[in-house]
Amino acid sequence: MNFVSLAQYRNGKTEIGLLIGGSNYFGDLAPEIKVKETKFSAGVFFKQNHTKYFSSRYQFAYAKIAASDKNFAANQYRNLSFFSNIYELGYNLEFNFLPFGMNVLEKDASAFVFAGFNMFLFNPKTKLRNGDKVSLRDFGTEGQVLDSKRKYSLIQPAITLGLGYKLNINDNWVIGTELGFRKTFTDYLDDTKDVYTDYNALNAKQGGTAVDLSQPQTVNGNPAIQANTMRGDKHLKDWYFIAGVTISYRFVTTFCNHPF
């Protein structure tokens, strides 16, 4: 008697999913990552599985970032702080280290890496002493308004690099965890890049709120810092990252048996 061996294939080349997690940033107000500065992030994505190793992922994500000089002893005198919502739209190419997802005889779990690019919208803000929230860019804290400089754009590109691990729950559902770093091309995620502007000239043209935001150490009774003194490191661009858990639904259109 002859027997034919059959393999079952998942014809599930597309997925939709959700990401829930936390976000943080690295820049002039965060020379190292502080866990307590981690904020909420979330996203939705559509994935096309090209092969058992490669997938394309299209994602819209929200992240919040924030930092304060109060959390770093070396920067407390400067007294800067900010927070910003980030909205990003991007593309990532994923590579699975093990064959995954298209065939029940393949692995039910795999580590993976991903790389891609996105465009994101941000707007650094802070709180005034009365509790009001204001956009730092509007006040030109480094002399943009005073010196008629071009203000930085709130829409920027970024390169994404990351890694993760995913697991098939069943034929349709996949769960995973991932960490993705965004390398930006701006130094203004935190509204801090270059040097202090002239305190008296800024006060004369824009008033007390502008100088309080430009040199917030004066709010604590400290003297104004001389113009052209370093305020931020213009040689280093800012980063932000999103880490979280994903769950996605794979659309299985057919469930075919193939002899091999």
DSSP class of residue 137?
Answer: H
Residue 212 lies in a domain: no
Note the pLDDT tens digit of each residue in 122-157.
999 999 988 899 999 999 999 999 888 889 999 999
The pLDDT of residue 214 is 96
Domain containing 160 equals 7-132+154-188+236-254
Query: 3-state secondary structure string, 186-231?
Result: CCCCCCCCCECCCHHHHHHHHCHHHHHHHCHHHHHCCCCCCCCCEC
Residue 18 burial (C-beta neighbours within 10 Å; 0-12, 13-18, 19+): middle
Residue 27 lies in a domain: yes
Note the pLDDT tens digit of each residue in 84-130.
999 999 999 999 999 886 665 566 899 999 999 999 999 999 999 88
Residue 54 lies in a domain: yes
Residue 26 lies in a domain: yes
Residue 144 lies in a domain: no
Number of structural domains (the chain) is 1
Domain harbouring 11, CATH code? 2.40.160.20
- What's the mean pLDDT in 197-220? 94
Residue 215 lies in a domain: no
DSSP class of residue 171?
Answer: S
* Chain centroid offset of residue 216 CA: 27
pLDDT confidence bin for 13, thresholds 50/70/90: confident
Residue pair 54/42 in contact by the 8 Å Cβ criterion: no
Residue 119 lies in a domain: yes
User: At residue 253, what is the residue type?
Assistant: T
